A and B are shown apart, each in its own frame.
Chain A
Amino acid sequence: AQSVTQLDSQVPVFEEAPVELRCNYSSSVSVYLFWYVQYPNQGLQLLLKYLSGSTLVKGINGFEAEFNKSQTSFHLRKPSVHISDTAEYFCAVSPEFGSARQLTFGSGTQLTVLP
């Protein structure tokens, strides 16, 4: 079994400031890690994913995330946010060599970028 904890339900930040959205996971097996973004009234879109290799993963729209196995974390970062980054962000985990239907989502973090 696996679980995902997103520590902050809401993160307000001013435009052009840096942001970090936190994600911790728990699993008894090796995992793949994902960040999805949901803009208002839309479905989820993949931002980035970690499968193996370099622990620093770069995604779309200037986002990046770092896998930290010892701390079981996969925090999402962006050095300078824009108004258009306002959205709900979901961290997700699936077991390595498992099935996509085993993808488990966190409860989401609402990022609000203020002018």
Chain B
Amino acid sequence: DTAVSQTPKYLVTQMGNDKSIKCEQNLGHDTMYWYKQDSKKFLKIMFSYNNKELIINETVPNRFSPKSPDKAHLNLHINSLELGDSAVYFCASSQTTGSNEKLFFGSGTQLSVL
């Protein structure tokens, strides 16, 4: 069983479209995250979500919005896609919010905006 699963694995779309990426974790973790990995492999946190508390990285455009229907799911919605949004997006989870926690990552969604 995959601990953190995200779909789709690949997403190719046109500029201006709206798209969603789904993420589910079956670990019973309290906290979930979205990360963006750019073409140089640099990883940057976008959001963290814990017990309905959403913390947004201030550099993330408001075209990006996470939605959590329950503790096991954190989906990412992106409106009006731009070329610069092309990247690999990773969902992750951790047992708690502590800075000593191990993060469990999904296998990533490669988003290509044409």
Contact = CB atoms under 8 A, between A and B. Distances in A.
A42 B108 contact: yes
Nearest to A97: B99
Nearest to A102: B99
A100 B41 contact: no
Nearest to A44: B105
A41 B107 contact: yes
B98 interface: yes
Nearest to B41: A108
A98 B102 CA distance: 14
Contact of A101 (B33, B43, B102): B33
Contacts of A102: 99
B1 to A, nearest CB: 15
Interface residues of A, number: 25
Contact of B99 (A43, A45, A90, A103): A103
Interface in A84-113: 88, 90, 94-103, 105, 107-108
Nearest to A39: B107
Nearest to B101: A100
A98 B98 CA distance: 6
Interface in B37-57: 40-45, 48, 55
10 contacts: A36-B103, A41-B107, A43-B105, A43-B107, A96-B99, A96-B100, A99-B97, A100-B99, A101-B97, A103-B45
Interface of B: 4, 31, 33, 40-45, 48, 55, 90, 92, 94, 96-103, 105-108
